[in-house]
Structure 1
Amino acid sequence: MKNNIRKISKQMSYVLRHNPDAFGLSLDAQGWCKVSDLLAAFKEKGTPITREYLEEVVDTNDKKRFAFSEDGKMIRASQGHSIRIDLGYTPEVPPEILYHGTAKRNLDSIFKEGLQKRNRHHVHLSPDLDTAIKVGQRHGKVVVPKVKAKEMHVLGFEFYRSQNGVWL
C-alpha cells in the first residue's frame, strides 16, 4: 500500500508540477486542477483511485507537496513547478538563516554561480537543518549551505513561504 501511495504521489508531482498534458489536464493560472478531473485522469490511465485515497496520498506526503483548495474541490502542487504558474504567495520577511540541502557534487557550482533555480521558478530553502538534510539526501552525499536570508531581504531579495513551509 505504501509503495502505491508513493507511486501515485510521484505521478501527481509530475502532472501537477511539470506536465499536466500527460494526463490531459488543464491547470488554472494558480496551478489548481479540479479534483474530479484528476481522479478521472487516473482512472483513464488505468490507475483508478478514490477521493479518500487521494486525501490519504496528500495527507501522508512527508513534504506536504500538495494542497486542496479551501472548498476541497481543487488540488495543486505547493511548489516546484517547471511550468509557468502564479502560486499567489506574497513576499514575507524570512528568518535570519535558511538552509539549502543539496548534493556535495553541486557545491563548486554553488560557490561559483550562487544558488540557481535551474528549471524551476524558485530556489527551495528549508527553515531548519534537519529538513534541509532530508532534502539533500535524495541527491547523493549531502551538504547544506546556509543562506543569510534576512541580509538578502534587506538587500531587496524577495522571499515567499509556501503552504508546506518551504521558503522560496
Structure 2
Amino acid sequence: MNTKTLNEVSKFLSYVLRHEPQAIGLNLDSEGWADVESLIAGAAKDGRILDIGLIQAVVSSSDKKRFSISDDGLRIRAVQGHSSASVSLQHVKKEPPEFLYHGTATRFLESIRQQGLIAGSRHHVHLSQDITTAITVGQRYGKPVVLKIEALRMHLEGFEFFQAENGVWLTACVATRFLNHNNDDL
C-alpha cells in the first residue's frame, strides 16, 4: 500500500468521520461510531473504492492514531476533532500536566492575542504534551509557532481537560491569561 493512497484515504475518513458524514449518506452515533459497511457503500457512491483491508491499513498506519475500530471490527470512528453536531464523545476528565502546547501558524497570533484559543467549528481546542508534535501541527497552517499553555493552573481554576484515545489533550477554550506570555511571539 503506498503512502499517497493511505494519506488520501486518511483525509477522506477525517472529512466524513469528523465533519461531514452526510456527504456520503453516513450516520454517526453520539460517540462518533459509523458502520464500516455503510462507510464502504457511501464511499462507493462518491466514487471512492474502500475495503476493510484498506481501512484497517489507514487506522494501523496513522502515527497520530486518528481513528479507532471497534473490538468486533464492525464500526469505526475518529477519536477527536469532530465538528458534527450529532457527535458528543464522552471523554473522561483528567488532570493535565503542568504545561501543554498548541501548534499554530504565526498568522493566527493576533487573533489569539485578542481572544485566546477557541474551538471554532470543532468541539474542543487540541493540545499536545510535547513541543515536537505542536510544531508539526503548526506547520500544517503556515510558519509554525508553539504556544505554551498553563494547563494545570487552568485545571485548578476549574477548567476541564480530557485526553482522547490517541493522547491529544482537549479543553473547551484557553483564555489569554493561561498562554505563556514569556513566549516572544505573544
Could you list the per-position Cα deviations for residues 99-148 of structure 1 after superposition, in whole angstroms to 9, with x for gaps in the alignment?
Answer: 00000111121121111111111000011000000011000000001001
Aligned to 1:62: 63
Q: 1:121 aligns with which of 111, 119, 123?
A: 123
Aligned to 2:182: none
Aligned to 1:43: 44
Aligned to 2:82: 81
Q: Which runs of 5+ in 2 are unaligned?
A: 171-186
More off after superposition, 123-132 vs 84-93: 84-93
Moved over 6 A (4+): none
What is the CA distance between 1:91 and its match in structure 2?
Answer: 0.7
CA distance in 1, matches of 2:162, 2:155: 11
Aligned to 1:91: 93
Aligned to 2:157: 155
SS at match of 2:77: strand
Compute the TM-score of the two structures, normalised by the length of structure 1.
Answer: 0.96
The AA in structure 2 aligned to 1:21 is Q
Q: Which runs of 5+ in 1 are unaligned?
A: none
What is the CA distance between 1:71 and its match in structure 2?
Answer: 2.1
CA distance in 1, matches of 2:95, 2:161: 7
The AA in structure 2 aligned to 1:104 is T
CA distance in 2, matches of 1:88, 1:28: 12
What is the alpha-carbon root mean square deviation over aligned residues? 1.0
CA distance in 1, matches of 2:130, 2:163: 13
Percentage of identical aligned residues: 51
The AA in structure 2 aligned to 1:9 is S
The AA in structure 1 aligned to 2:63 is D
Q: Which structure shows the higher strand fraction?
A: 2
Aligned to 1:53: 54
CA distance in 2, matches of 1:113, 1:25: 35
